[in-house]
């Protein structure tokens, strides 16, 4: 009898190892990176966001409606808005954070976040293609392309996926503690004060808070800004990029060269890293993975942060890494027969 239990244990462990190997195997990675159509990402997800969308303006509302509409077209997502008014240097402004949760009954959430507002400049029209239209579009494409695999994910897993699209990240005048991060400051405080039956606040249920920003230009380099908290996650990104490249699943340049996006070089940064929407959550003890390039793209807060200056190869490569990373984090299979049509593109 003991022998049969041991056999069952080995079979169970072996199945887990096989699932892990399958996900990181060449066929598994190829399946995951072929789930989506890049043209669909560009035209259906990204282009409608490439307009001025300053908080409180019609453009902001239009982009918010686009994001919600794209999410509502998928199955099983619970979508809520965190609406509030806040005094700013430009007077009182209405903001709205968008929150989409795959399984609201799950006890834990891994958060993927970005901001959908754009900065107001008074001497030129600012689009903010990298800041942060591309990150928002990447999240929309990610959940659409993984939707079928989400459906056949192992049931009753403790951790689900949650998306947050923040409003009001940008300052209206100069960046200060009160003129910036309107949406993230509001939501972090709100969730800190929402207690469950065990007296724990809602922030306690966030396993990791993963924030995307300034993505879409060429030669971007990400660093591990929180090595004490999320080094394992960052090293997974390094490993995934390496394996994708080794298996010829990444796009090289015209000279057949490839520059790694994820650096293992440790740099010194302030306590909460680069100022962004993660800061209000980090101050309250949430573990952070900040996917923002450093140095910033040369087009940051410039008129040139527009669609024409986006690097499709860089975006596609980052998209591949993110897809495999999220699938692995959520223990998704890299293939399912009911999703097979998606792998045949």
For residue 243, give the CATH number of its domain: 3.40.630.10
Predicted local distance difference test score (pLDDT) of residue 17: 38
Model's pTM, two decimal places? Answer: 0.92
3-state secondary structure of 84: strand
pLDDT band at 156 (very low <50, low <70, confident <90, very high): low
Predicted local distance difference test score (pLDDT) of residue 21: 42
User: Helical H runs in the chain?
Assistant: 2-24, 26-33, 38-40, 58-72, 134-145, 147-151, 182-192, 227-246, 279-282, 312-329
Predicted local distance difference test score (pLDDT) of residue 153: 87
Known catalytic membership, residue 213: yes
Count of domains for the chain: 1
Predicted local distance difference test score (pLDDT) of residue 335: 84
**Cβ neighbours, 10 Å, residue 22:** 15
- In angstroms, the CA 277 to CA 181 distance is 6
Q: What residue numbers bound the domain in which 337 lies?
A: 2-344
3-state secondary structure of 321: helix
DSSP 222-288: B--S-HHHHHHHHHHHHHHHHHHHHTT-S---TTS----SB--------TT-SSSTTHHHHTTT--E
CA of 29: how far to CAs of 36, 312, 325, 328, in Å? 13, 20, 10, 10
Q: Which of 39-43, 290-294, 297-301, 332-336 has the lowest mean pLDDT?
A: 332-336
Known catalytic membership, residue 265: no
Is the pLDDT at 27 greater than 80, yes or no? yes
> Which one of 103, 131, 169, 170 is the catalytic residue?
169
Is the pLDDT at 23 greater than 90, yes or no? no
Q: Give the angle 178-179-182 at the CA atoms, nearest 5°.
A: 80
Q: Are 65 and 74 in contact (CB under 8 A)?
A: no
> Which one of 45, 103, 145, 213 is the catalytic residue?
213
Predicted local distance difference test score (pLDDT) of residue 10: 39
Predicted local distance difference test score (pLDDT) of residue 157: 81
């Amino acid at each position: 009898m003991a022998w049969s239990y041991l056999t069952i244990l080995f079979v169970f462990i072996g199945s887990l190892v096989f699932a892990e190997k399958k996900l990181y195997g060449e066929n598994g990675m190829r399946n995951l990176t072929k789930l989506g159509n890049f043209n669909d990402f560009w035209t259906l997800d990204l282009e409608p966001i490439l307009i001025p969308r300053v908080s409180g303006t019609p453009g902001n509302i239009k982009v918010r409606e686009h994001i919600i509409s794209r999410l509502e077209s998928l199955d099983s997502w619970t979508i809520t808005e965190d609406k509030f008014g806040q005094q700013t240097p430009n007077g009182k402004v209405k903001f709205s954070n968008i929150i989409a949760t795959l399984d609201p009954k799950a006890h834990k959430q891994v958060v993927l976040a970005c901001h959908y507002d754009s900065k107001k400049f008074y001497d030129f029209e600012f689009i903010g293609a990298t800041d942060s239209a591309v990150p928002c579009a990447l999240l929309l494409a990610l959940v659409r392309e993984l939707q079928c695999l989400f459906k056949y994910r192992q049931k009753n897993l403790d951790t689900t996926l949650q998306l947050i699209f923040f409003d009001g990240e940008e300052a209206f005048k100069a960046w200060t503690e009160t003129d910036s991060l309107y949406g993230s400051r509001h939501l972090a405080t709100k969730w800190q004060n929402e207690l469950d039956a065990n007296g724990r606040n809602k922030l306690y249920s966030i396993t990791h808070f993963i924030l995307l920003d300034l993505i879409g230009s060429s030669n971007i380099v990400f660093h591990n800004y929180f090595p004490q908290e999320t080094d394992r996650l960052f090293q997974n990104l390094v490993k995934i990029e390496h394996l994708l490249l080794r298996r010829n699943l990444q796009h090289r340049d015209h000279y057949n060269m490839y520059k790694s996006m994820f650096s293992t070089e440790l740099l010194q940064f302030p306590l909460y890293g680069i100022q962004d929407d993660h800061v209000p959550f980090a101050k309250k003890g949430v573990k952070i993975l900040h996917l923002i390039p450093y140095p910033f793209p040369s087009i940051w807060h410039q008129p040139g942060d527009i669609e024409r200056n986006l690097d499709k190869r860089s975006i596609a490569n980052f998209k591949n890494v993110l897809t495999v990373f999220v699938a692995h984090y959520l223990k998704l299979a890299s293939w399912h027969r009911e999703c097979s049509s998606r792998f045949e593109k």
